C-alpha cells in the first residue's frame, strides 16, 4: 500500500520561509514524477511545483517561480519544497502528489495516482 506523508507546514510572517517535505513509501514503480499542489476553500487545487529528476525536469507555476524550489531524493522517495519570500496569498493547504501518469502534464490534479493528506501553510501580513 502506497503512503504519501507531508510535513513541514506551519505559520509564518510574510517574507519568511518554510520547507515542506514529502515521503512516499510502499511504491515499487521506481523513480516517479512528483509535485506539490495547493488549495484554498472554494478553489480548485493548483499545481505549484513539479519534478521528475530522472529526466531532469522541474516545473513551477508563475506565481511561485523565483521564490520556491523543489528537489527530489530518489533514493529516499522524498521530495522537498523550499518556500522563501512567502506572501499572504501563499496561504493554503499544500498537498504532495506522486506517481504521475505517463504522458500527462505535471500540473493536472487528475494526473497523479497517489496523494498525501495535506499540510497547512499560513502566511500572515
pLDDT value of residue 13: 98
**What would the grid cell of residue 57 be?**
525536469
pLDDT value of residue 94: 98
Whether 30 shows a pLDDT value over 90: the answer reads no
> Mean pLDDT for the chain?
93
119 band by pLDDT with thresholds 50, 70 and 90: very high
Instruction: Let me know the angle formed at the C-alpha of 106 by 10 and 48, rounded to the nearest 5 degrees.
Output: 25
Pairing of strands 78-83, 68-73: antiparallel
Bridge partner residues of 5 (DSSP)? 23
Residue-wise pLDDT for 50-71, tens only, equals: 998 778 899 999 999 999 999 9
Average of per-residue pLDDT across 99-104: 88
Residue-wise pLDDT for 7-27, tens only, equals: 999 999 999 999 999 999 988
Amino acid at each position: 500500500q502506497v503512503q504519501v506523508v507531508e510535513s513541514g507546514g506551519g505559520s509564518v510572517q510574510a517574507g519568511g520561509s518554510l520547507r515542506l517535505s514529502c515521503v512516499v513509501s510502499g511504491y515499487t514503480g521506481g523513480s516517479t514524477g512528483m509535485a506539490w499542489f495547493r488549495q484554498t476553500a472554494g478553489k480548485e487545487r493548483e499545481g505549484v511545483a513539479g519534478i521528475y529528476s530522472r529526466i531532469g525536469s522541474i516545473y513551477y507555476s508563475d506565481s511561485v517561480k523565483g521564490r520556491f524550489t523543489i528537489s527530489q531524493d530518489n533514493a529516499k522517495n522524498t521530495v522537498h519544497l523550499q518556500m522563501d519570500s512567502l506572501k499572504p496569498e501563499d496561504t493554503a493547504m499544500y498537498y504532495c502528489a506522486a506517481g504521475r501518469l505517463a504522458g500527462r502534464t505535471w500540473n493536472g490534479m487528475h494526473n497523479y495516482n497517489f496523494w498525501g493528506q495535506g499540510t497547512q501553510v499560513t502566511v500572515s501580513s
